[in-house]
């Protein structure tokens, strides 16, 4: 019990404790995982095992939920997360070429993190900015009408 509690900060532990007091505590699993990812950036195996123990949910269920939903990261992301929209409008307007240029410049593939831990590269389905396609989100900033020629300059802004 103590080891499981040591995995989390006090605010996360309070949240889990509050969820456990509810009528249906297991229904809060996704919300708990979201809070943990928001705080730590990803869901480590150790943190999922601690959730399993603290919420009395089988570890297979916890990891199954975490791996089923695309939202959850099971690997630590870089300090700067790059998300390339691959929705229909962005794809048609050249997002695939933009993605390839990011992969070339960063020397990683989608879903990977650079060796220095600085950048992680992901695809996303829609950022809701279809009229400005293709769109790339870097950190909390969105960039519109991105072309492969813009990639180097975009990366420089975040180095």
Peptide bond into 134 cis (omega under 30): yes
Span 76-135, pLDDT tens digits = 888 899 999 999 999 999 999 999 999 999 999 999 999 999 999 999 989 999 999 999
Work out the pLDDT band at 1, boundaries 50, 70, 90: low
pLDDT of 27 higher than 90: yes
Strands 80-85 and 119-124: parallel
**Whole-prediction pTM value?**
0.69
Per-residue model confidence as pLDDT tens digits over 12-25? 999 999 999 999 99
In angstroms, how far is CA 146 from the centroid of its own chain? Answer: 22
| pLDDT tens readout for residues 130-154 | 999 999 999 989 999 999 999 999 9
pLDDT band, very low/low/confident/very high, at 70 (cuts 50, 70, 90)? confident
DSSP characters over 73-113: -SSPPPSEEEEEE-SHHHHHTTHHHHHHHHHHHHT--TT-B
| Distance, CA of 74 to CA of 61 (rounded, Å) | 15
Average pLDDT, integer, range 35-41: 90
């Amino acid at each position: 019990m103590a080891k499981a509690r040591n995995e989390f900060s006090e605010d996360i532990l309070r949240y889990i404790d509050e969820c456990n007091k509810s009528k249906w505590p297991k229904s809060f699993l996704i919300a708990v995982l979201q809070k943990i990812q928001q705080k730590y950036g990803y869901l480590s195996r150790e943190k999922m095992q601690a959730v399993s123990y603290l919420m009395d949910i089988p570890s297979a269920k916890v990891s199954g939920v975490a791996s089923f939903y695309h939202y959850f990261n099971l690997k630590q992301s870089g300090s700067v997360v790059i998300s390339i929209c691959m929705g229909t409008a962005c794809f048609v307007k050249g997002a695939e070429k933009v993605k390839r240029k990011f992969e070339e410049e960063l020397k990683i593939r989608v879903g990977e993190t650079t060796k220095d831990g600085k950048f992680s590269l992901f695809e996303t389905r829609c950022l809701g900015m279809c009229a400005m396609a293709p769109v790339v989100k870097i950190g909390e900033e969105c960039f519109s009408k991105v072309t492969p020629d813009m990639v180097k300059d975009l990366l420089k802004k975040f180095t």
